[in-house]
């Protein structure tokens, strides 16, 4: 940027060559009739204009590279903030990366060059005052009028575009929802309705944009008129001054050229002020987005955890919620334990798993892994030891192997296969057309729900996980899939892994060491299955014993209702069904 400014000084200084040439031709060459002087002056001006063109090329290249370097520096910070900052993950407006690209486009466009040239305006006005005060006065009045038009243009554009931003966000949401769930829209016969809804929202967003464009274009036309009128006024005034013998005839052309060069940046700013306004908003957005990433401090790397989990009086409240989603959750489990979390819909089970995964911070209380608060762990180090499978399985695009390994740079093929074998998904993957190289599509759209869940489980078990969090891992599994899941849980426990599992279905009770029962965000009971399950089944229908897995003992208190919906355990805790 410093060199760009230095070249701008040279460019604006060389622009005075043309007025100087006009004065010399009219006042010296025409009066003396010297052809040698005319040739010498012309060669001098051509050389100077050549240097001017070279400096323009160099400045444009510098600004282009500066814009690219600007994006290369900010993009990782914005992406890191959007990953680590919960507020940015739930933001509904344009992503920070879109704002970074807006700024990059502005920096590499001619708008920035115009902005750099604008401070030289007083110098050109001073030169005009030296030629004659009337020339300087005309340039000053024209500059003030253009400045006023620029302010008006900025306010018009800002008010109209602010009105359109909310509708534009709603239209984008509708478009994302329609394209993401295109099969559902088509199956339900909503195609025409979806198109009409998007067109309606899009039209609401376009109307203020069109109004803003029309008004800004009108103001830009007025600005162009002001510049031309100022040039005409300079020529007319110069002619009158020549007739009054106050200036020489060369100053007439020189003043017109200088006034045009003086007012040109102001005219361009009037037309491009909407771009500058948008860039200013984008810069404010980026400053807010990168603040968390810039302020984050390096954490001391702790020893690998064993998996001991301790929650003390944990509470969590959403910003827009009247009551807390969780309140007073306290329990402790030793390494290599299996904790099953149960409760009715809306009890806060998934929220609890998000807190343990450090995706959200508790409003009150503390969550500790091996005695260290989650805030004291380095996020990347903690993520290497914590596996997480959300209720809506989120798979990254690419192949199955890439979906299991994620962005782990040290992952090997053996690690991927080992994780699949731990999840009992290896044979299922081999049965696919291309095995581990099978493309899964966007969010795993080419896979069934059960396949996505088993691959998501393999990803959660990938690497040296010491704490694995599973949210409804068997919701899309058939009985064979549930047996494979139970086997994977027993194997992970044998390797020393602690597992916290949310479920509505009783099959996983047979592998549970501890059960946490939640209702309305509060902890009702915590303990062994023999202690907790009788409390949850008060008032439930008669039960029949759940079928134990291989090597498991039948538990008389783990039962299923003898009804047509055998997976419903009771009205207090189980609402899902196969």
In terms of Cβ atoms closer than 10 Å to its own Cβ (0-12, 13-18, 19+), residue 211 is: middle
Q: For residue 120, which of 270, 13, 254, 268 has the smallest C-alpha distance?
A: 13
Cα separation, 292 vs 362, whole angstroms: 18
- Place 82 in a pLDDT band, splitting at 50, 70 and 90: confident
- Which residues, in sequence order, are CB contacts of 90 under 8 Å at separation 6+? none
Burial code (b: 16+ CB inside 10 Å, e: under 16) for 140-162 equals bebbebbeebbebbbebbbebbe
| pLDDT confidence of residue 160 | 64
Residues of the chain with CATH 3.40.50.300: 309-561
CATH class for the region spanning 2-295: mainly alpha
The CATH superfamily label for domain 309-561 reads: P-loop containing nucleotide triphosphate hydrolases (3.40.50.300)
Q: Tell me: the pLDDT tens digits for 114-146?
A: 788 878 888 888 888 888 889 889 889 988 888
| pLDDT confidence of residue 544 | 38
Mean pLDDT, rounded, of the chain: 81
Higher pLDDT, 320 or 485: 485
% of the chain at pLDDT higher than 90: 13
Cα separation, 216 vs 212, whole angstroms: 6
Phi, psi at 505, each rounded to 5°: -110, 145
pLDDT above 50: residue 562: no
Cα separation, 264 vs 86, whole angstroms: 46
Q: DSSP code of 25?
A: I
Lowest-pLDDT choice from 141-145, 162-166, 554-558: 554-558
Three-state secondary structure call for residue 166:
helix
Q: For residue 552, which of 478, 486, 504, 457 has the smallest C-alpha distance?
A: 486
Q: Tell me: the pLDDT tens digits for 368-387?
A: 999 899 888 888 888 889 99
- Place 91 in a pLDDT band, splitting at 50, 70 and 90: low
Strand partners, 312: 366
- Place 159 in a pLDDT band, splitting at 50, 70 and 90: low
Cα separation, 321 vs 521, whole angstroms: 13
| pLDDT confidence of residue 164 | 64
Q: For residue 363, which of 521, 502, 515 has the smallest C-alpha distance?
A: 521
Residues of the chain with CATH 1.20.1560.10: 2-295
């Amino acid at each position: 940027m410093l060199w760009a400014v230095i070249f701008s000084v040279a460019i604006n200084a060389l622009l005075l060559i043309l007025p100087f040439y006009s004065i010399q031709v009219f006042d010296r060459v025409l009066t003396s009739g010297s052809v040698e002087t005319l040739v010498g002056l012309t060669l001098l001006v051509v050389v100077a204009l050549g240097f001017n063109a070279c400096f323009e090329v160099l400045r444009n290249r510098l600004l282009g590279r500066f814009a690219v370097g600007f994006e290369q520096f900010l993009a990782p910070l914005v992406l890191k903030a959007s990953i680590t900052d919960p507020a940015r993950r739930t933001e509904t407006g344009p992503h920070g990366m879109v704002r970074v690209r807006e700024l990059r486009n502005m920096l590499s466009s001619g708008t920035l060059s115009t902005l750099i040239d604008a401070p030289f305006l007083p110098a050109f006005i001073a030169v005009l005052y030296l030629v004659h005060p009337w020339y300087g006065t005309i340039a000053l009045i024209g500059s003030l009028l253009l400045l006023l038009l620029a302010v008006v243009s900025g306010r018009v554009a800002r008010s109209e575009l602010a009105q359109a931003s909310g509708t534009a966000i709603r239209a984008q949401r509708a478009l994302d929802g329609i394209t993401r769930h295109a099969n559902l829209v088509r199956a339900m016969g909503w195609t025409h309705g979806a198109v009409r809804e998007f067109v309606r929202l899009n039209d609401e967003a376009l109307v203020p944009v069109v109004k803003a464009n029309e008004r800004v274009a009108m103001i830009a036309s007025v600005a162009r008129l002001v510049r031309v009128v100022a040039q005409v006024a300079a020529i007319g005034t110069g002619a009158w001054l020549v007739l009054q013998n106050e200036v020489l005839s060369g100053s007439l052309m020189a003043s017109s050229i200088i006034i045009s060069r003086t007012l040109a940046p102001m005219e361009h700013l009037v037309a491009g002020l909407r771009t500058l306004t948008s860039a200013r908003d984008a810069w404010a957005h980026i400053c807010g987005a990168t603040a968390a990433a810039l302020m984050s401090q390096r954490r001391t790397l702790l020893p690998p955890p064993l998996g001991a989990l301790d929650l003390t009086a944990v509470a969590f409240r959403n910003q827009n919620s009247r009551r807390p989603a969780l309140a007073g959750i306290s329990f402790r489990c030793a390494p290599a334990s299996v904790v099953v979390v149960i409760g009715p819909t809306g009890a806060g089970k998934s929220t609890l798993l998000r807190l343990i995964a450090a995706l959200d911070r508790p409003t009150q209380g503390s969550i500790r892994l091996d005695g260290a608060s989650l805030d004291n762990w380095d996020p990347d180090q903690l993520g290497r030891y914590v596996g997480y499978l959300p209720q809506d399985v989120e798979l990254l695009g690419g192949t199955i192997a890439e979906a299991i390994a994620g962005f782990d740079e040290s992952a090997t093929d053996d690690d991927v296969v080992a994780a699949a074998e731990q999840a009992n998904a290896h044979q299922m993957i081999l049965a696919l057309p291309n095995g581990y190289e099978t493309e899964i599509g966007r969010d795993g759209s080419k896979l069934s729900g059960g396949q996505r869940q088993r691959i998501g489980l393999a990803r959660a078990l990938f690497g040296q996980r010491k704490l694995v969090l599973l949210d409804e891992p068997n919701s899309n599994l058939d009985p064979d899939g549930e047996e494979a899941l139970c086997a994977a849980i027993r194997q992970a426990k044998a390797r020393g892994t602690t597992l916290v599992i949310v479920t509505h279905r009783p099959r996983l009770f047979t592998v549970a060491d501890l059960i946490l029962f939640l209702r309305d965000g509060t902890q009702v009971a915590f303990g062994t299955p023999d202690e907790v399950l009788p409390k949850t089944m008060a008032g439930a229908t008669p039960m029949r014993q759940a079928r134990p897995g291989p090597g498991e003992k039948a538990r008389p208190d783990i039962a299923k209702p003898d009804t047509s919906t055998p997976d419903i355990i009771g009205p207090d805790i189980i609402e899902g069904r196969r």
